[in-house]
Amino acid sequence: MTAFASDTAPPASTELKSLIKAGLPVFGTKPADLAVSDKAVSPAPAVSEAAASPGVVRMDPYVMLDKRPLTDEAVMTDKSWADFAMDKYLGGIDQFDRGLLNAYTLPELWAKIPIVGRLPFAGTPGTLTNEERAMRLLRLDQKADILKEQKDFEVLGRSEASVGPK
């Protein structure tokens, strides 16, 4: 005889059920702290009790508020940002700037020297790796986009102020 063959419940099961029910959280139909208008939620179709199937539990409608999925920019690592910036601003690895002119930069060559390469490169000022140069261009482009958006908002604010009632 196996442990699951009996049809009677063990005596502790009712006690365990009451403990489990007491410990589970109770959820309301709408969170009290969220201000969601009833007009935004479409009501569920009315179902009469007679039309409901026996044994089917009908729940009150509720609003599910979830965060938006992450964008590609939010998931990118520093290395992927550098690769993206190099492809965008310096071109591909086989193109003129990155492939021929700057295939090897002084900091990259310095890092390949076995013992001395661990020390920071003390070359000419302004010598950057391809990654650093591309990330600098990316940051400048992002700053320019932010300034352009701010300028657009200022122009929009001025135009609305001039159109408004006097």
For the segment 7-61, what is each residue's pLDDT rounded down to a tens digit? 565 666 777 778 777 776 666 655 554 555 545 555 555 656 555 677 777 777 7
Quick: pLDDT tens for 75-114: 899 999 999 999 999 888 888 877 777 777 777 787 888 8
- Residues 128-158: tens digit of each pLDDT: 788 888 999 999 999 999 999 999 888 887 7
Is the sign of the CA dihedral 14, 17, 22, 23 positive or negative? positive
Q: What confidence tens digit (pLDDT) does each residue in 49-67 have?
A: 555 677 777 777 777 777 7
